[in-house]
Structure 1
Amino acid sequence: MIMERFLRSPFTMSVFLIGLAVIYSMSIVLEQRNNMTTIIFVAYAIFVIIYFGTMVYFNRKFPERKIRILTFIPYELKEEDEGHQYITYRACRKVYIYYYFAIPAAIVAVSLFRKVELLPVITLTVLGIGQYFIFWSEVKKLYE
């Protein structure tokens, strides 16, 4: 189902992550509120409202496949049977390996380029998007 794939998609979480990074970066770079920052913030807020509104609608329409709104478990983890669990295991394993190498590399990059004011935010955003990309590349095999 398209709606469920949208709600559980790491792409959606990537948009959340990028939105937060852009809002923070613009507030740092511009050091004051201007029209562009306000427009981006409003667009981000609208996206969040649409996302959670869609989730509430989905939960009412399909109560047997409810997605918990407030949870510590990521929405992407869909472990209905042993097959789903195995795919999640493989995806999480690949993400762990990614972080095993990416975090030290990120620390070195941030240390070497201390003068770049937004580098920590950019680095965290890239690390997060990399995690979602790696996870989704493994999970998409489930949908093929």
Structure 2
Amino acid sequence: MKLPRHAAILELIRNRRVPSQEALRELLAERGIEVAQATLSRDIRTLGLVKAPDGQGGSAYAIPSGGADTSPTLGRLLPALYVGADGVGNLLVLKTLVGGAQPIAVAIDAEGWPEIVGTLGGDDTILIILRGEEHREKIVARIEAIADRRGE
């Protein structure tokens, strides 16, 4: 999946000298992430990575000073990763595909919805704490509309 691959790319760039796409592809393969050169090129563009002098007389990939785009929007995440929701009182639990909970929780927090106090994201489950139980159905409807799952 793209999000775990992007996370791995960013971790590698932060922690290692990566002088080329081929070196990055090999490092990803060591982690069990096989990726085609064209896909890797798109990932590098999407993340906004740049080649910069590395202090060793060469260049290596770097994250620009403004940072990489690591906070995808709900509109991109929910259609691909959302499974369902259930709740009680002011607590709402979202189920996602494996690996989808944390990015979705971050994206929900970034939305700044006033009905939400906060989120806790695991691997495939998000706990959303609402300001009141009266907000639960409204938030579920909003999330399902974004995920385009109404009526399923």
> TM-score normalised to the size of structure 1?
0.27
Which one has the largest radius of gyration? 2
Larger helix proportion, structure 1 or 2? 1
> TM-score normalised to the size of structure 2?
0.26
Larger strand proportion, structure 1 or 2? 2
